[in-house]
Amino acid sequence: MSDTPENPTATPPVIVPRAEHGISRKNIDENTLKVLYRLSRQGYKAYLVGGSVRDLLLGRTPKDFDVGTNATPNQVKKLFRNCFLVGRRFRLAHVRFGAHDVVEVATFRRQAQPDDLPEDPADHFFFSENVFGTPQEDAFRRDFTINALFYDIQTFSIIDYVGGLADLAARRLRVIGDPLVRFTEDPVRMLRALEFSARLGFSLDDSVRQGIYLRASLIAEAAPARIREELMELFRHRVAGQVLRNAQGMGLLPHLLAGYEAEEATFTLLDRIDLRTAAGTPIEEHFALAALFLDRFLRACPPEGEATVTDAVRIAGLILSPHCNYFHISHGTRHQAREMLIGCFRLARGLGKRGERRFLQHPMTPQSLELFALWHADDPEQTALAEEWRLALRRDEELLQRKSSESPRPKRRRPRRKGKGRPKTEG
């Protein structure tokens, strides 16, 4: 019988002793070490788990550190006064240090068997996510082999039940178990596969690639709020262009974003935005949204045509509305995205048009100009136009500052002297 999440065998793990790997405790978060040590001293298994082990082995700085243990959530809570239990679907312990630092502690879980499940089918989902197990059973429940490596704080060794070390060395992304089954269980794993491949520079295993082709349509069943957050994670991790390009190539993108498809020009724009984010400019959702729909907007409302600003307002709203409604995007965010699209339309028409002064002072104009410049980065004529607009913005800002400094101070109102009011009338 093969090693699968449903039937992990008793095959002994690969254990790499401290002398043969590069993970050092000095690279692990101090508060995470405190949690690991206390669990270990109380007789529980205490492992660093998941992406943090992967990143440390790759010489990268982990985004966060998670802990796995055989202590139940209630047992963890008894050990730490600063512990709070969270989650109904997946019960976790959060150990808090100060106002912002949280160490997440998860109890090892296993795949629920039919005999484990309660009689009421409505309770199956939440119950099956909280069936506790061994470290080996927990490893086989995880998504990718490179995310199922454990670091044992007691022996300082790496423990590998699923072949993750070999895949790490080969720079290959492989699903634990059958990709068709695992993608059916959680279709968002398909997007995560593309994200990890792009972030780490790993190749996709052929079985993963084939699984995405065959199960692409299932991702439309995922919760819109979850997809929306995963999309923004792509932008935050600076891989939006590469991942969405690959997603379209594999037939995943239309199912992922409610029928959305793009031309190569849009993916090139997203690549430039990823570089902008990598240079230190935080990405905001309205900026990403405007970038996704800029090409479609300019095709529907070409600046060199007869369309007016009123037409641009209407068309921008029509183009954004289906996406924003499906993903429940707030009116504030969609308004900012719409203003950026309208701004790009006005920028493309050039200077000297009616309402220019008001447009220069609009709060979204600088971001519109930034998006416009990224869109036209390989067009010398449009790049020159963008520079003219920058100069116009600078002149307008200097003019406002000069007027502000030259304006006379308002007259101070003299206080009213007592007894000088209206005389009282005799009653």
* pLDDT digits (tens), the chain, 427 positions: 345 554 555 578 999 999 999 999 999 999 999 999 999 999 999 999 989 999 999 999 998 999 999 999 999 999 999 999 998 777 899 999 988 899 999 999 987 665 555 455 555 444 456 688 999 999 999 999 999 999 999 999 999 999 999 999 999 999 999 999 999 999 999 999 999 999 999 999 999 999 999 999 999 999 999 999 999 999 999 999 999 999 999 999 999 999 999 999 999 999 999 999 999 999 999 999 999 999 999 999 999 989 999 999 999 999 999 999 999 999 999 999 999 999 999 999 999 898 899 999 999 999 999 999 999 999 999 999 999 999 999 998 888 777 777 666 666 677 777 665 555 554 4
Ramachandran area for residue 159 (φ above 0: left; ψ -120 to 50: alpha; else beta): beta
Distances (CA, A) of 363 to 282, 334, 366: 18, 15, 7
Q: Which of 3, 55, 66, 205 is catalytic?
A: 66
Query: DSSP 3-state assignment of 105?
Result: strand
CB 135 within 8 A of CB 155: no
The reply to whether 379 belongs to the active site is no
CA proximity to 107, closest of 66, 150, 73, 137? 73
- Spell out the residues 6+ positions from residue 155 whose beta carbon is closer than 8 angstroms to its own: 17, 18
Query: DSSP 3-state assignment of 373?
Result: helix
Q: Which of 3, 55, 143, 152 is catalytic?
A: 143
- The model carries a pTM of 0.85
The reply to whether 64 belongs to the active site is yes
Q: Which of 64, 178, 271, 311 is catalytic?
A: 64
The reply to whether 143 belongs to the active site is yes
Please report which helix (H) or strand (E) contains residue 150, including its range: strand 149-152
